[in-house]
Amino acid sequence: MRAKLVIANWKMNADKAMLAKLLAGYVAAIKPPVKAVACPPAPYLAQAQQQLEGSAIALGAQNVSQFEKGAYTGEISLSMLQDLGCEYVILGHSERRSLFGEQDTDIAEKFVATIAAGLTPVLCVGETREQRQAGETDSVVSSQLDAVVNVAGIKSFEKAVVAYEPVWAIGTGDTATPEQAQQVHKLLREKLAESDADIAQRVPLLYGGSVNAENAEELFAMTDIDGGLVGGASLDASAFAAICAAAN
């Protein structure tokens, strides 16, 4: 039985006061056994680390550099994230792919570096609306997954999370049905099982795309959906806590 995991992706939303209030709400309302992770914007990681100390909520980052250190202006390294108590890193979010030109090869390098640093990568895959309409969902998500498995190796998925995030569902209110999501999650698990059946059974597969307090329970009830990656609804502590409760 895989434990449920729910990750909050705040994207580029926060200020000091908002962070303090939101995290206080998380800490007060989110109860185990669900594992919750907060991913605030990088400038607020230190404040979040202090506030989450001793709580059951883990800290994560929304991106990281694949490079170790040095002349990479504007980038953030894995050792910096470690220093700030981060345990998780979101990689290959569709906004990173579409707005900042991240390619599968960059994402694979970041994945390898994240595993080597001992943090848990949360690898995002997902198709656009056009790709779904053209019947390309399976081939798109398979090739995004393969691009990382082929470089990082299946063993590195012992300590990784995969998030299926259909691009057409992110921030649109247009959630995938539980059946649509389950179908892709099953495919992803089968793809992983081609390399290692045992690891495939253990990898948490999260669904992301307009998850909210109303639709979380039916999504999380599906066999291969092990929790969620939550954007918009994570900016409301009571909505996020309700999503975590649905996972419990």
The residues annotated as belonging to the active site are 93, 165
Task: Specify the residue for token string 């066999």.
Answer: 223
Per CB under 6 A, the list member of 64, 210, 225, 246 interacting with ligand PEP is 210
The residue among 59 and 200 lying less far from ligand PEP, judged by its C-beta, is: 59
Per CB under 6 A, the list member of 92, 204, 208, 227 interacting with ligand PEP is 208
Per CB under 6 A, the list member of 230, 237, 239, 241 interacting with ligand PEP is 230
Per CB under 6 A, the list member of 40, 166, 204, 231 interacting with ligand PEP is 231
Question: Buried (b) or exposed (e) across 44-63, using 16+ Cβ within 10 A?
Answer: bbebbeebbeeeebbbbbbb
- Which residues between 135 and 174 bind ligand PEP (CB under 6 A)? 165, 170-171
The residue among 14 and 200 lying less far from ligand PEP, judged by its C-beta, is: 14
Quote the Cα angle for 83-88-90, to 5°. 120
Asked whether the beta carbons of 157 and 149 are under 8 A apart, the reply is yes
* CA 42 to chain centroid: 15
**Residue 23, phi then psi, degrees to nearest 5:** -70, -35
Which listed range, 72-80, 125-133, 206-214, 219-227, lies at the site for ligand PEP (CB under 6 A)?
206-214
Question: Which positions ≥6 away from 155 have C-beta within 8 Å?
Answer: 196, 199
Per CB under 6 A, the list member of 40, 121, 126, 209 interacting with ligand PEP is 209
Strand partners, 88: 60, 120
Q: What's the CA gap between 128 and 94, in Å, rounded?
A: 9
Helix (H, G, I), strand (E, B) or coil at 218: helix
Nearest distance in Å: CB 10, ligand PEP = 9
* 244 lines the binding site for ligand PEP (CB under 6 A): no
Q: What's the CA gap between 162 and 185, in Å, rounded?
A: 9
Q: Which of 46, 36, 37, 40 is nearest to 18 (CA)?
A: 40
* 98 lines the binding site for ligand PEP (CB under 6 A): no
* 126 lines the binding site for ligand PEP (CB under 6 A): no
The residue among 6 and 119 lying less far from ligand PEP, judged by its C-beta, is: 6
* 63 lines the binding site for ligand PEP (CB under 6 A): no
* 39 lines the binding site for ligand PEP (CB under 6 A): no
CB-closest chain residue to ligand PEP: 231
List of residues contacting ligand PEP (CB under 6 A):
9, 11, 93, 165, 170-171, 208-211, 229-233
